[in-house]
Structure 1
């Protein structure tokens, strides 16, 4: 209920002013059942000068019980050059802006076979929120085309992370997987002053490894600007795409 606000002097809405009630039934009319829930307002406040704050409209939550579950999924295709997804959506740094809903709606309307998120979904006053109490899920098996080098649930960096990636790249059968794509959040190369050489240590340690195994494409986010070349000249080996959602 209500509208979200973006600006410097914003006033959050009062969630107690609107009831959270859902009416439902087996038919459109009449709706014989009713469920009451709760409402809240989410605010993102920046302590830095020059950055605009955000506060949501009133968000309603109501649980409908005694309903059957509906599950829908699509299985992975068999490995092979002709069986990989034909339409791929890649985006990141959605944040909480006027463009967020438009980006997601555009992705959904195109019905992609695969969605790749290059990091940064939403933000909460520069700290983690209390969460919902759900488990922290992660990829715990290796027989998929997408492998993870790092999870914040455990600290595997330095030599352990490097050796894992080296073994993983060495095990790729290019006759089955002709395109080798790497994804991480902050780009190694960009010309934006605020993020320039922000992950230089990672680049120094891993760039030669990436090159040696012939990674074809790297997707990054983080820098909310377009980068069409590297060091002012076209790059023959790497194609870096920074923040594909913008």
Structure 2
């Protein structure tokens, strides 16, 4: 099987231009994580995600076909509730067969409450737990993009595990499987300790496309099966773009690698979603993309997923008074001032690029000089960030780099949302 996946890696360069080919220094080796036990019915790669205001999706994989059932309650080992869900599986290149991918939505759930659960019913041996987001400020988001499965990834995850947060946001490029499907399994096992305890809300990046002309024409096969997000609940018809609410915050997850032109399904959905926002209920607005619209790094310049999407959608976000836009793709950190159409604009969003989670390609170390005035902080280091929404008007952003595996604060700023600025009328 190793030789087969080696041939697939060669096909990557021949048939898949979505994967970047330029050199980046400082990578660490990829990890390989196998199942922790021999029970083919035991839950593997457990992760959770938000569904509406009071529900949670529990997702996991088993080798054997089972009834997708979750039992749960507010007391350990006492499960007063149960729910059934759906399951699926997929083939890739006729040489990889996924396990049974199970998705179960549970709830209604109380806010700011710890729930204990088992995947597969009461006979399952392993108990997990998670905490629901609170129904009042502060709300804490952890943010990191372009994770991968390397030792740098593990360092980032270790730091995040010590950083209290309510929701994790990932702006694309999850496993860096790049057609080699067993890497998806390693990624699921690597993130399980965190992703089974706090909701992970993700969007896709270029490394999720995994499209090979003639051999595998379907795009996003593994991503759509493994990481199902609440798109239907937000009125979207695609798992590649959706929105969700956490108390006081409306988050829009956009798809850089699906159609975004005016008139496209995603564009029309975004228009409708922005019009439906209740700013009294959610005074903060956040958008998440993969390919950044603003970027002073030499990496990933001139790509249509950045430039054309910006041309199509920037004005929509500006008029809606989006407060902050997170992006990945560039393997470095950069924070911009409030910007619109390439210039400072006090009514524009703050753009933050955070594609520095720990992938195998290393860092993008070359920046354009001189530094444009709209770029306030930039550094090519692996790291992660946290946005703490303190109240209806103020939030604090903090980015920490992985400095010899020690998490070190390097950039922080207080943000005031645009709703509080009377001159930025909506």
> Which residue pairs with 2:129 in the alignment?
72
SS where residue 321 of structure 2 aligns?
coil
Query: What displacement does 1:240 show?
Result: 1.0
SS where residue 267 of structure 2 aligns?
helix
> Which residue among 118, 122, 138 is the counterpart of 2:229?
138
Equivalent runs, 1:141-180 vs 2, <5 Å? 141-142=233-234, 144-145=244-245, 146-150=251-255, 157-158=260-261, 159=263, 160-180=265-285
Structure 2: unaligned runs, 5 residues or longer:
3-7, 14-20, 43-122, 186-221, 235-242, 246-250, 357-381, 383-426
> Which residue among 139, 148, 152 is the counterpart of 1:99?
152
**Are positions 1:207 and 2:318 aligned together?**
no
- How far apart are the structure 2 equivalents of 1:57 and 1:135? 21
> Which residue among 1, 23, 31 is the counterpart of 1:56?
31
Q: For each residue in 1:68-123, what CA deviation from the matched residue of structure 2 results, as whole angstroms up to 9, or x when unmatched?
A: 45353334544xxxx15532211111123332111111111122111111111221
Change (3 A) 1:214 1:147: closer
Equivalent runs, 1:121-136 vs 2, <5 Å? 121-124=174-177, 126-127=178-179, 129=181, 135-136=225-226
The higher radius of gyration belongs to 1
Query: What displacement does 1:221 show?
Result: 0.9
> Would the aligned equivalents of 1:189 and 1:197 in 2 still touch at CA under 8 Å?
no
Q: For each residue in 1:26-54, what CA deviation from the matched residue of structure 2 results, as whole angstroms up to 9, or x when unmatched?
A: xxxxxxxxxxxxxxxxx988865856684
Higher strand share: 2
- How far apart are the structure 1 equivalents of 2:29 and 2:128? 34
- How far apart are the structure 2 equivalents of 1:240 and 1:164? 22
More displaced stretch, 127-136 vs 94-103: 127-136
TM-score (norm 2): 0.40
> Would the aligned equivalents of 1:44 and 1:55 in 2 still touch at CA under 8 Å?
no
**Are positions 1:238 and 2:349 aligned together?**
yes
- How far apart are the structure 2 equivalents of 1:233 and 1:201? 18
Change (3 A) 1:150 1:226: closer
SS where residue 175 of structure 2 aligns?
coil
Q: For each residue in 1:190-229, what CA deviation from the matched residue of structure 2 results, as whole angstroms up to 9, or x when unmatched?
A: 1222311322010001011110110000011111123244
- How far apart are the structure 2 equivalents of 1:221 and 1:49? 17
> Which residue pairs with 2:168 in the alignment?
115
**Are positions 1:224 and 2:316 aligned together?**
no
Q: For each residue in 1:159-187, what CA deviation from the matched residue of structure 2 results, as whole angstroms up to 9, or x when unmatched?
A: 22111101101111111111100001110
TM-score (norm 1): 0.65
